[in-house]
Each structure stands twice: as C-alpha cells, then as structure tokens.
Amino acid sequence: MTSDRPARPTLTFGDDGTPAADVVWLWISEHSWAGWRLEVVTVTDVPIAPPPPEEARLHPWDPPRPRHAFEETGFAEVEHLTARIDPRLALSAPTDLLVIGPKGPGLLKGVGLGSTAEWLVQHPPSPLVVARTGAPTRRVLAAHDGSLHAQRALTTLAGLPWLAGVELVVLTVDDGRADVDAASALVGEALAGAPVEAVRVVAGDRDPTAAILQEYRAREPDLLVLGTVGLTGWRRLRLGSTAGAVARSVPGSVLLARADVPGENP
C-alpha cells in the first residue's frame, strides 16, 4: 500500500476479527477476483504515544487467525498487514477497492464503536464497499446524476471482475437541475465493454432521495452504487445528509466513490 504497490488491482479488507468482519469476508469470498491482490489490514493496538516508525507503517504479519481465500476467488496474492496507528489512517492508503463492515469493536475500538466506518463512509479515500450481507451480487442499482463522483462510482463497478450476468439498473433523476441526457451519455461511457446490460431509468420524481429509495424498494438490489457528492441539487446527496441517510438505511451493501475535483473539499 505504498507508491511501489503492484500493478495488479488490489482489494483491501479492513478486518477487525468480529462477526461483522466475518460477514464481509463471506461477501468477498462469494465473488470472483481473478488476478486481483488481496490485502487484509488489521489494527490490534492503537498506541497512546507515537510508536516506532517501523510499527506505524503497514507491514506484513502472521495473525493468529489468518484469512484463507478459497481457490475459487482467484486471488493472485493474499497478504496480511498490520500497523500501530489510527485505523482510519491504516485504511486510507490508495487502493482499487476498500471493503469494510458497518461496525465492530475490534478495528474500531481506538476511536469508538463504529466511528472508523463512519469516518470512511464520510471521507472514502478509495472506492468503498460497506458489506452488510454475505450474499453474492446478482442485482445492482446505481444512481447517476452526471457528476464526476457518480462516474467514478460507476467506473469502479464496471471494473469489477464478477460483473458478468449481473442485472444492473442505472437510475438518473430529473430534479430540474441535474442533466439527465449528459448523465445517460456518461453511463454509456462508464459501462463501455462491461459485461452487463444496463437499464437506464429516468424517474419523474424531482426528489433524488425519494426516487432512489423508491427504486431500491422496488428492485431489492444486492448492491447500491452512489457517488458521494452530486451536482447542483444532488449536493443534497453529500454524505452526512441525504446520501448518508440512504447509505445507512438500506439493508444491503453499498459501493461509494468520490472523484478528485480541484477546489472541492474532500
């Protein structure tokens, strides 16, 4: 998880050894990651005083209960890493996909129950999946408003190696300010070459939150895909307000992503 990280795509799993982390591991194991590298990151000790530099950096270790990937997952490499630092920092190094559970006392104990997951959801350092169930992904609902953040989320989805056969619905909402035509064009661009058939739904509801939740209830997807910040009226989807409410209230797993936009606060 440094500047010399391998060229192959990397999945980083924040593992705190709790039942919630076991659910995340099941979610990972239910999908194919052919050719990907897996990093299992665990923070077991958050020091009060600054630790030695070599302990503050993520480094390989042999955990007492290592995660053994099934052969069917296709991981090219599995590495367990740890560090004596704030878990938020341990999970903030760039990666292709960061996967965590919604809460847990182990990894999160240094900053309070749930606060690490909450912070990562508010400030996803990389495309982030909050896995709430261990079910494989068969149906996906993605919300797209034409923003760079929504495009990053959809592009991340399109790059996942298990998309073949997944039923994908991309929802664009005409709230009077978002450009539905531009969003539809970007959807086609993001999904070019992806092994899915996208159904683009233009909802008449001018409230993006209500439209997303209505579509979610109707389709019961296994995965909801959102950009963390939207355009114009969709700025109500900034996590901590509407998108936060949507991401926290749905029972299934959520993929969140944000783009690096000059002049925009992270």
Q: Is the pTM of this model over 0.75?
A: yes
232 pLDDT above the threshold of 70: no
| 4-8, 112-116, 231-235: range with lowest mean pLDDT | 231-235
Task: Compute the chain's Rg from CA coordinates.
Answer: 18
Is the alpha carbon torsion for 88, 240, 223, 17 positive or negative?
Answer: positive
**How many other C-beta atoms can be found within 10 angstroms of the C-beta atom of residue 109?**
17
26/253 Cα distance (integer angstroms): 12
Q: What is the pLDDT of residues 185-204, one digit of tens each?
A: 888 889 888 888 666 665 55
24 pLDDT above the threshold of 50: yes
Higher local confidence (pLDDT), 221 or 107: 221
Mean pLDDT within 42-61: 82
Q: How far apart are the first and last CA of the chain?
A: 21
Task: Name the CATH code of domain 139-257 (choices 3.40.50.620, 3.50.50.60, 3.30.70.1520, 3.40.190.10).
Answer: 3.40.50.620
Of the candidates 11, 52, 14, 60, which has an alpha carbon nearest to the alpha carbon of residue 32? 11
CB contact at 8 A, 125 and 14: no
Residue ranges of the domains in the chain? 10-130, 139-257
Q: What is the pLDDT of residues 52-62, one digit of tens each?
A: 887 888 999 99
145/243 Cα distance (integer angstroms): 13
Q: One fold for both 10-130 and 139-257?
A: yes
Q: Strands 10-14 and 97-100, how do they pair?
A: parallel
Could you tell me which CATH number the domain at 10-130 has? 3.40.50.620
